[in-house]
Structures are given as C-alpha cells and as structure tokens.
Amino acid sequence: MPTAVNYAMFDNLFNNLKGFIDSKIQEVGNDLQKRFGVPEPAEPFVLIRRFTPADSTVTKGGIAIVKEGWQIEAYDNNTQSLLTSTDPLRNVILFEVAEPDVQECVLACQFYATVLNTEKPIKVSLGLRRPGQWGAMITTSQSTGVSSTEDFRPYEVRAHFKKEANAAKVQISVQFESSGILKIRDIELLQAPVKSES
C-alpha cells in the first residue's frame, strides 16, 4: 500500500525531472534565438519609410481605407463571405519595398492596430522575399500577434536583414487564421545597425 513518503518521493522526482526538461528547453530556445533570431540593434532605429493611405497596397481585395488607416477583412475570395475557422489561412501583402542599401541591419515595423470579430490573433509579419532556386520566391519573416482589443495599441515586429547575391524585397503582410477584421494605422519601417557580438 502506497504511503505518504512514496507520494512525496514521486513528487520530488517528478519536479526534478520537470525542472531538468524546462532548463533544457530554455537552452535550446536560447540557442535557436542566437542562430535564427533577430540580433539587438547597436543604435536607435531610424525611419526608412512611413506608409499612408495614399500608398497603394499589394493585395487589393478586402482592404478599405478608414480615416488614417486600413481595415482588412478575412473572407473567401470566391464568395466574399467571412471565413470559418476551417478555411485556409488568408495572407494579405500590404507593402513591398526594395531592400535597404546596407550590408546588414535590424529592420523594425512599428504600427498601431486593433482587431474585431476574431477567434485567433491576427499576425502582422515583417519579412524578406528573395528569388530562390528554379525561379521560386522564398519569404522569411518574423511576426507578432494582434489580439482583440477595443482600442488601438502600439506593436512592433523586427527582422534581421543581410545582403545576399539575390536582392530581396522587404514585405509587410497580415495572416488570418480565422475570420476577423484588422484595423491598422501609422505603419513605419525603420532600420538600425546590428550590435557586434563581443
């Protein structure tokens, strides 16, 4: 028959194992962040581009200009009805600009946003789109999720840029994983030099 001592010993073993696993997961996360993450900027960010409703978006459908910003809806392209959670992801490319004229930098996209009528956070991504092998385009990006809020809130997403043989386009896009509406304004693209590792 189990005793309280056996339960305490099991709890102690379980907590030790859990602590060991958590520390290993943290180590792997830190290693991935160093390898694939965005480095720290060496100096304050400087503005490269400010986007206004006068700028034309790459994706046209389901985007309306409201006051000083954009209202983007997730809908089925064929029926113009709102998506259900089983429908595929909708990707909206807002803006695409030429790569910075530097060898390496940290890019940042700062904006204000709010979302309505969504089950899942709506992701706003900052990415680099380059030609890959056999003519395919490859996009690598970082994103931040915008959850339901009543008021506009500030957000920032960063990406690491390194100049390569194939020129890249810097892309700001929105991904919906469920139906919803994203209101976004004051979109700015910034850059800063990369902090050297010492």
Claim to verify: residue 26 and residue 52 sit in the same structural domain:
no
- Average pLDDT of the segment spanning 93-103: 93
69: which 2 tokens? 């910003």
Question: Do 174 and 141 sit in the same domain of this protein?
Answer: yes
> Whole-prediction pTM value?
0.72
d(CA 35, CA 39): 10
* 107-141 pLDDT per residue, tens: 999 999 999 888 888 999 999 988 877 667 777 88
pLDDT class for 184, splitting at 50, 70, 90? very high
The pLDDT value recorded for residue 78 is 45
Same domain, 50 and 92: yes
Structural domains in the chain (count): 2
Instruction: Please state, in angstroms and as integers, the Cα–Cα distance from residue 128 to each residue in 38, 78, 143, following that order.
Output: 13, 29, 12
Q: Do 56 and 86 belong together in one domain?
A: yes
pLDDT for res 131: 83
At 13 the pLDDT is: 67
Distances (CA, A) of 97 to 42, 58, 73, 100, 139: 23, 10, 23, 9, 14
Closest CA to 129 of 94, 180, 166: 166
Domain that holds residue 26: 1-36
Of 21-35, 85-99, 147-161, the range with the lowest mean pLDDT is 21-35
Answer whether residue 198 is part of any domain: no
pLDDT at position 9, please?
A: 67
Say yes or no: 7 and 55 in one domain.
no
61 & 153 share domain: yes
3 with 81, same domain: the answer is: no
CA neighbours closer than 13 Å in the CB half-sphere of residue 160: 12
For residue 186, what pLDDT is reported? 96
Do 77 and 21 share a domain, yes or no? no
Using pLDDT thresholds of 50, 70 and 90, give the confidence band for residue 178. Answer: confident
In a domain, 41, yes or no: no
